[in-house]
Structure 1
Amino acid sequence: MEMNNHQQFYVVYDGPALKDHRMDVRDLAPALIAIADLLTAANEEINGKTAKLRVHVNASFKAGSFGIDLVATQHLLSQIKDIFSGNGASAVCNGYTLMTMVGFVGGGGLIGLLRRLKGRRPVQIRQTGKVATVHISQTESIEVDSRVVKLYRSSIVRTSLEKVVSPLEQEGITDFGVMMLERLVLEIHDDEVGSLSAVTMDTAAEVVSDTTSHKMLQIESLAFKDGSTWRVHDGIATFHAWVDDRAFLKKIDAGERFGKGDVLLVDLRQVQRIDGGRLNSESTIVKVLEHRQPLQQNLPDKAYAGANEEHGGSGVALSLA
């Protein structure tokens, strides 16, 4: 005898390229399959054989936007105690909790952990009962549910998550979101894709080069949210860089004027690795030595403010059961 658990949610891909509510099926189809793979693999990692999860297309479309309703059905054995409360050693992680572990809701879970790691591997992971302590560096650590660590170490889960956000690598697709009950519960921007990459798993990586040098960088776009990178230009190429100079960030928090077009003289660390069969580069602003005003005044403002009012997005409605 079985019981079914349902959890409705809606995913959205958005950006200037989707203003006509159209999305290339070659981008959308793999991402939808990856959502099914991600939730199925997470369910297997956490619940084992006590619950099965499948994703189905409901074949309905929402007026005014491009959307596909999907239903993910979780079949639960009825004799298991405390299915929905999560109490007891044999309890099943229900649909909502499963989404929390992945990070689709709640601001934490696997996605929250990867945002804190910012593409880095943990120095150490120590597990005590239901809680795991992830040491991000020698001085910084975070406590997470031990089930989140299981997802972090699952190659299927990590690869599927990477594919879910892979459309953000396409020109003009800038955002991925999850909505529940018409409320946005997760938003991922294109500058965060590197943090969610599967190549940051606990596997050996060959460091090709690791150098720190003085660089002058011009800011093209920036975000002050933890786990985000700044897009900068060094006179030759544009790339994303982490900002690890806490003293400089505190000055900005205290009110120092700072924005697009400003120029920074910095100590820039650039690490190049061969990881998972791919070449991966990471740039980190270790210290800001000097902050200058824009080289040219009255630069055209191409910021994304108000972009959501100027274009529509492509959405996918899902139901997790």
Structure 2
Amino acid sequence: MESIVLRFDGEALNDHSMDLKLLADSLAGLESLITEVHEHLNGSTDDLKVQVQGGFEEGSFEFLLNVIETAEISTLAAIGLGGTFAGGGLIGALKWLGGEPIEKIARHKDGDCILKKKDGNDLVVSSHLKEAIASPSIRTAFKKLIQRPLNKEGIDVFEVLKPGASGSEQREVLVEIEKREASSFRAQSEPVKEKIKEDDVYDNARITFLTVHKDKPSGWRIHYDDTEISGVKIQDDSFIRHVQSGAGEAIFDDAYRVKLVAKYKNNSLTEKSWHIEKVYL
């Protein structure tokens, strides 16, 4: 089990209380962040258990976080909240980005990843952070956990501390994020400008049509390689006219050879949309 203390400091917390909605959103962001990063690292959350215990000190609001997991890579370390990588990991990368989107994620010669910024500077991060650093939902979780509370008047600092030994008042500060750094943890719908993964192109692919729409080129269904694919967009105007003219009445009876393209979303290694660029009649 790994334990850390998360603390917000500032005048607004002098009475040891915190706005309930702000606290609830922050805790929801924390839970989402830990859960999604753990799943990126390990493939599932079956072994993960997260516990939170509230508390306070003079002029602050804090809570103890316990993370129980059986994993080769610590989730808290990957986030940058604990372990030898406290202040590094995702938190270190987001601080370095300063709220900017990543221009490109490249592969380093030793297998790690290189994050490139608009100004040409780059940062090497561990390969296991590649999907997490590009995830919009993880950025939203950081916004709830860190940016939104720090944007509130009277809350000046977010800190992560190492729990002190029993009876000890001394606690090591592992991470400190000040109000001026809050924008580094804002949400981004497209954290990466350039695609992480290039399109998959299947030229001369053999398909059959399952659903067609004469009134629109999108939302078609096809059968390809023993798989049913929905939401396919047809980009071959001549074939669309062929179907609209009535010449394609037997479309469900025949197999077609097409240029089929799977286009990956900018920030994903798995999410993609399907397009038929050409139907070979």
TM over 0.5: yes
Residue deviations 1:211-259, cap 9 Å, x none?
xxxxxxxxxxxxxxxxxxxxxxxxxxxxxxxxxxxxxxxxxxxxxxxxx
1:120 aligns with 2:109: no
State the percentage of identical aligned residues. Answer: 29
Match of 1:190 among 168, 179, 188: 179
Distance verdict in 2 for CA 1:185–1:70, change over 3 Å: closer
Which TM-score applies when normalising by structure 1? 0.51
Distance 1:57 1:202 in 2: 29
Residue deviations 1:159-200, cap 9 Å, x none?
111100111111111111100132111111111121111227
Distance 1:203 1:134 in 2: 9
Q: Which one is further off, 141-150 or 36-45?
A: 141-150
Distance 1:119 1:140 in 2: 14
Distance 1:16 1:63 in 2: 12
Distance verdict in 2 for CA 1:189–1:61, change over 3 Å: closer
Mapping for residues 4-153 of structure 1, pairs under 5 Å? 6-49=1-44, 52-58=47-53, 61=55, 66-74=61-69, 76=70, 92-94=72-74, 98-105=75-82, 106-128=86-108, 130-137=111-118, 139-153=120-134
| Runs of 5+ unmatched residues, structure 1 | 1-5, 77-82, 84-91, 205-321
- Contact conserved, 2:13 with 2:61, CA < 8 A, in 1? no
Higher alpha-carbon Rg: 2
Query: CA-atom RMSD, angstroms?
Result: 2.4
Distance 1:195 1:63 in 2: 27
Which TM-score applies when normalising by structure 2? 0.57
Relative to its length, the structure with more strand (as a share) is 1
Distance verdict in 2 for CA 1:163–1:63, change over 3 Å: closer
Distance 1:115 1:109 in 2: 10
Q: Could you tell me which residue of structure 2 aligns to residue 217 of structure 1?
A: none
Distance 1:61 1:116 in 2: 31
- Contact conserved, 1:121 with 1:200, CA < 8 A, in 2? no
Shift of 1:66: 4.7
Distance 2:13 2:121 in 1: 39
| Runs of 5+ unmatched residues, structure 2 | 164-170, 194-281
Mapping for residues 289-304 of structure 1, pairs under 5 Å? none
